[in-house]
Amino acid sequence: MSFNTFETARSINLSANSQSFTGTVNLTDPIDFYRLQINGKSSVQLTLTGLNGNANLELIQDRNRNGVIDPNETVQQSTNATAIAELINTVLNPGTYFVRVAAANSSTNYRLDVSGVSTPTADIVWRHAQGGSNLTWTMESTLAVSARSLPTVADLSWQIVGSADFNRDSQIDYVWRNTQSGENLVWLMNGGSPSGMITLPRVADFNWQLVAVADFNRDSQPDLLWRNIQSGENLAWQMNGATPFGVIFLPQVADRNWQIVGAGDFDRNGSADIVWRNATSGENLLWFLNGGQATSSAALPRLVDRNWQVAAVADFDRDAQPDLLWRNVISGENVIWFTQGATVTSGVMINPVADPNWRIVAANSRADEPATIDSIGNARSTAFNIGTLSGVANFSEFLTLSDPEDFYQFTINEATELTIGRSNSAVNFQILDANGNVLETNNSLNVLGAGTYFLRAFTNPSTTIAYTLSLNAIPRPIVQYDFTYYFNGQNTSSDYYSGTVTAFNGTYSVGQFFDFTSSNNETGANGRYIITGSRTGGTLSDLNRVTVQSYYDAETATFFTPAALGQNTSGLGSEVGWLRDRVDAQYFGADFFEADWRSITSVQVQTSIRQGMPTSIIWNDTISENVRIEVFKGGVFQTAIATNTESDGVFEWTPTSNFVVGSDYQIRISSVLNADPLALSNQFSIVSPGTVRITSPNGGNLLRPGSAQTITWTDDFNENVRIELWKGGAFHSTIATSTASDGSETWTVPRTLANGNDYEIRIFSTLNPLVSDRSDAMFSVQADLRRYGFTYNYNPSNVFQADSYSGSVIAVDGAYTVGTSFDPGNRATEAGFNGNYLITRVEDYDDRLTSDLGRVFVTDYLDRDNGAERRFTTRSQRFAQAAGLNYLGSEIDFLDDAQSEETRFGQDQFEADPVWLTFSNLAFSRREGDAGTVQVRLAFAPTSNVTLSFTGGSFITVDADTTIENGTQNSLTFTASDWNVARTIRFIAELDGLASDRSSNPISYALSGNFTGNGVYNLGTITNTYAPDNNRFNIDLDYRNDYSGFWTAARRAIAQRAANDWAARIMNELSGYELTNQSLQMFNGQAAAAFNFTGNRFIDDLVVFVGAYTTN
C-alpha cells in the first residue's frame, strides 16, 4: 500500500467498536503505517490476524516529530514467530500514535483490528448569568465530548465559586456563595444531581470574596481561599470535609488591581499555588506555596487584552500539571494554556460559546481510568484464534472482576513440545482439547499431538490483573528405536534381550551405547544398551514405551519369547518382564534383573518370645520384590504381620497380648507378586510378658515432704524398671528413669510436693510396655510446715548503726536453723555492705497451707540513718500481705503505705531512705537584705514530741515562730497530733558588706525527742544589694521589722527625704575607718562610752532599723 511512512499513514479515529483493515506486506513493500489520534486517556487494543506468513505489530509515538522511529519511541510491540497472531492491549495518554505492520521475513496478508475506549480528562462548569441555568462539559483533553445539565438556580445572587470532592466519595461537589446575604454552602453531588447540602459559615462582609478551592495544607482535603478586595488581605480556611477547623494567613496585597484567579499545585510539592492576574496591566503571576506559606513567585506570560479572563485552573491533558482555562468575555472564545510549572508550553482553542451570559464558574480534573477492552473471548466459541502454533509467541492481556477468564485457540500440525510461561502467578492456565477436556493445569511443559487446542487463562480477581503468557512451541517427530541389552556389557556370551523403544527424534542415536544404572547388575557386571536401528512412527501415547521381543538365556543357549513383553512407558531402563506367565525366577529387566530361578530360604526366629518384647525374623532370598510375612500356629494361618515389606532379610516384630501363649508357632514368608517362592521358619513359643507387683507404698500411707521413703516391689524379669509418681490419676513426675529390678528404691519426698491424698506409685518394665503395676490404693502427702522468724541486717558487722528489718518466712520443717545467718544474694546492698539474714526463731505453722510455702512476711523496718532511730510498720503488714513469694531474698516492701523509691526496701539489696523533714512553699526574693518564709513539717508521725531547732548560716537570721515581739526563736515543737501541720518560719538574708552574690546560704536544723537527726536546708544564691562607698555618707532605712505594714510607700518616701537631709548635715568624720574588733569612742554629749564593733564594713553609712509592731 501507499501508506508506508508517517506522512502517508492512514488515519484511524478511535472507536469502541472494532475497526478492521486488511493489507499485504512483503519484502518489497514491507511496512504499512496507520495514524491513531488519542484525545483522552484510552484503553487501546490492536490485533493482527489472518496471517499466512510472519509479520510484526508495533505501536509507536514519534515524540520528537522527526518522522523516524528513534530509540525509546516504540510504546509496545508484538513479534510472535511464524504466522502466529499478534496482540497489543495497553492504556495510552492523549497524543498522536502510529501503528506499524511489518513483514518479518516473508510475504503475508493480514487483518488489523483496532478498538479503544477513552476516558474524560476534566469537567468545565457553566452558569447562565440571566436564566440561572447550570451545566457541565465533559472534556477529553481539548475536546468537549458531552454536556450534562445541573439543576437550575434562578436566584442570581447565588454564584458557583468553586468545585472539589468534599466528602471523599470520588464525586465533585460545588461551592456556592450568596452575594447578597453572605451565605455559603456546598452541594454534595451524586452523579449529576445534588444528594445533600452542607452549610458553611456565613461571611456577611462582601469585600471578602471566595476566589479558589484547593488543598493548601497538604492534608488531601480541599480548602477555601478568600481575598478582601478592599484591604487586600488573603487567607485560607483549612477544611475537614465541609467543616472549617483553622485559618492560614497569607501575605497582604493592597493593590486591588491584582486579583486571584485560581489555584493549583504547579511545583508538584503537594501544596496548591496561587494564580494572580493584574486587571489593569494584564500581568500574570504565580505564587508558589509550601504548606500554606508563600515561598517564591514566577511570572506567567502577559496578556494585555482585559477581555481575556482566567476562568478556571485544571489538568486538561492528564500530565499531572495544572493548566489555565481562559475565556474572552466579549467574543466568547475559550483557550487552554498547557503548562509545565510556570512555563506555558502551548495554547489550544476549544469550543467557543458566543453568549456572554454563559460564564465558566469552575473546572476540575478527572482521574477516571479507561475501561479495559475484552476482545479475547470468554469461552471456546469466542476464543481469540492465534493460528498455527510453531515457535515463540507472547500475549499480554488483563483479567478483571467482570472478565475473569480469557480463551485462546491454536492449532498443532505435528507432535510438539509446548512450554508456557506466565508473568503473574495469580493467573492460572489450562490446556483444553477440542472438546473442552482439561489436559493440563499450570504445567509449564507439555507435549501435544496434532490437532486443535484451547488455552484458558483464569483467576478470581478483586482488581484488574495484568498478565503475559509466553508460548514456545517446538515440533518433536516420534521415532521407534531398536535396542539390545547385554547383561555383561558387549559380551554376547552372557544373557541379553532385544526390543524397541518409542521416543522423540534425537533421543537416541543408532550405534550408541547407554548405561542407565552405573552399578553392577545381578550378574556382577555393568550391563549396557546399544541402539541397533530406528524408523519414524508412533504417536504421543507410545512415547517412552519399551517392548522386549526376545530373551537369550546363555546358560541354556536358548532364545525365549517373553510371555510378558517387558513393557513400560518410562523409557529404557524401566522395562520389566518374565519368560513365562507367572512371577518366579524368570523375572528380568530394569538394567539389573537377570532371568533366573528365585528362592526364599533359611527363615529363623528366636525359639521363645515374650509378649511385648521385640524379636528379629531373619531369612535369605534371591528376589527383588517386597515380601509378605504371616504367622501360623499349628499349621493354621493366624494373621499377616507385614503385607508388603522390603525383602532385605530382616524384620523386627513385637508379639502383642493378642497372641495366646503357645509352643507351635511358625513364620511364613512369600513374594508379594506370587505365592511362589515361599518358606516357613522353625517352630517357636510365645510366653507370658512377665509381672511386677508394688508392695510399698501401696495405699493408706502418710508421707512427709523431705522424708526418705523406700519403694518396694516384686518382679519376674531381668530388665530395669521405670518408677513414676502419679497424682489424681495423672502423671506427676519420674522418680527413677531406669533402675535395677532388685525390688527396692530409696526416694526422698520433694519438699515442694503439694499436700494431697490422691498419690500413687507406678512401675514399668523399661523394655516391655505390657508389664506394669500401680499402688493398690492412694496414699497421702502432708507437709510439716514451720514459721521461721528472721532479721535482715544491711551491715552485719555493725548491726547497731545500720538499718535492718524483721519478719517471718513459711518453710518446711528443717529448711532453716535458728541462729544461723546466710546471704542468698551474695551481693553488696545499697548501703555498700554484703547484708545477710539471721534466723531468730522457729514456731509451728498451724494453718499448714502448702500454698504459703516460700511466702515472706515483713513486719517492721528499723531506720538508723543520720543518727536517728525510727521503727516503721511495713506496707505488707498493714494490708496483711506477703512481701515475697519465693523464700528469703524475694521480698519487696515499703515503709507504711508510701510506695516510693525512698521507702522501698528488700531483695537483699534495696535499703529504705525515709525523708524525716519536708520543706515547701518558699517565699523569698533572693535579694540581700530581704526577709522570706518557708513551710516545714514532719514526714512521719511521732509517738511523742519532736523538737526542731534551726541555726542560720553566715548572715542568715532565723525566727522559727515568725513573731518578733517575743524575740528571735530558733526552735519549734511537733506533737503526735499536729506533726503533719505545716509550720511557717521566717528568715532574714543580712547584708554581708561584700560587692558580690552569695552562692551558698544554708539553714542547719536538728531533730530531738522522739526523732533524732540533723540536716541542712539551702536557700541557694542570694543577689548582692550592698556595695561600700567611701565617697558619700548615706543613711539607709531598714524596714525588715515592719510587721504591721504601717510603713507604706508614701511614708517610706517621706522618711527617706528626712534621712537624706540628716546625711547632708553630718560630717563624714568616720569615713575610711574599718571595724575590725577595735574600740571606737562614740560621744553622747560630754560623756564618752566605748563600744566594741565587729565587722568588715567601712563606716560610710548609717543604718536605721525602722519597725512598727502596731499601727499605734
pLDDT in tens, 512-526: 998 888 888 878 888
pLDDT of 1034 above 80: no
pTM over 0.75: no
pLDDT of 1040 above 50: yes
Q: What's the distance, CA 612 to chain centroid? A: 54
Q: Which three cell numbers stand for residue 267?
A: 511545583
Please give the pLDDT value at position 1104. 60
Closest CA to 88 of 424, 419, 468: 468
Please give the pLDDT value at position 1082. 41
Please give the pLDDT value at position 1029. 55
pLDDT of 489 above 50: yes
Mean pLDDT is lowest, of 420-429, 578-587, 593-602, for 578-587
pLDDT in tens, 266-305: 998 989 999 999 999 999 999 999 987 999 999 999 999 9
- Whether residue 632 contacts residue 665, with contact meaning beta carbons closer than 8 Å, is answered with yes
pLDDT of 442 above 80: yes
Q: Which three cell numbers stand for residue 600?
A: 526364599
Identify the structural domains of the chain with CATH numbers, from first to last: 10-118+374-427 (2.60.120.380), 122-365 (2.120.10.30), 478-589 (no CATH), 600-687 (2.60.40.10), 692-781 (2.60.40.1930), 785-906 (no CATH), 917-1018 (2.60.40), 1034-1107 (no CATH)
Own/partner pairs, 254-262, CB within 8 angstroms, 24+ separation? 256/229, 256/230, 256/232, 257/281, 258/285, 259/211, 259/227, 260/211, 260/212, 260/225, 260/227, 260/234, 261/211, 261/309, 261/310, 261/313, 262/212, 262/310, 262/312, 262/313, 262/324
- Whether residue 751 contacts residue 815, with contact meaning beta carbons closer than 8 Å, is answered with yes
pLDDT of 1085 above 60: no
Which helix (H) or strand (E) element contains residue 1058? helix 1049-1065
pLDDT of 365 above 60: yes
For 427-464, the DSSP string reads SEEEEEETT--EEEES-SEEEE-SEEEEEEEE---SS-
Residue whose grid cell is 495405699: 699
Please give the pLDDT value at position 309. 96
Please give the pLDDT value at position 584. 54
pLDDT in tens, 943-953: 889 898 888 77
According to DSSP, the β-strands at 983-989 and 956-959 are antiparallel
- Mean pLDDT for the chain overall: 86
Please give the pLDDT value at position 1043. 62
Q: Could you give the CA distance from residue 160 to residue 608 in angstroms, rounded to a whole number?
A: 107
More confident residue, 212 or 1015: 212
3-state secondary structure of 931: strand
Residue whose grid cell is 498455527: 388
Neighbours of 699 (CB within 10 A): 12
Please give the pLDDT value at position 771. 92
Q: Could you give the CA distance from residue 588 to residue 594 in angstroms, rounded to a whole number?
A: 5
Radius of gyration of the chain (CA): 55
pLDDT band at 1083 (very low <50, low <70, confident <90, very high): very low
pLDDT in tens, 735-753: 999 999 999 999 999 978 8
- Whether residue 312 contacts residue 362, with contact meaning beta carbons closer than 8 Å, is answered with yes
More confident residue, 12 or 952: 12
Please give the pLDDT value at position 1078. 44
Q: Which three cell numbers stand for residue 243?
A: 467543616
Please give the pLDDT value at position 1095. 36
Q: Given phi > 0 = left and psi -120 to 50 = alpha, else beta, which region is 830?
A: alpha
- Whether residue 387 contacts residue 48, with contact meaning beta carbons closer than 8 Å, is answered with no
Please give the pLDDT value at position 1111. 45
pLDDT in tens, 690-735: 899 999 999 888 888 888 999 999 999 989 999 999 999 999 999 9
Q: Which three cell numbers stand for residue 566?
A: 517387558
Mean pLDDT is lowest, of 140-149, 197-206, 353-362, for 140-149
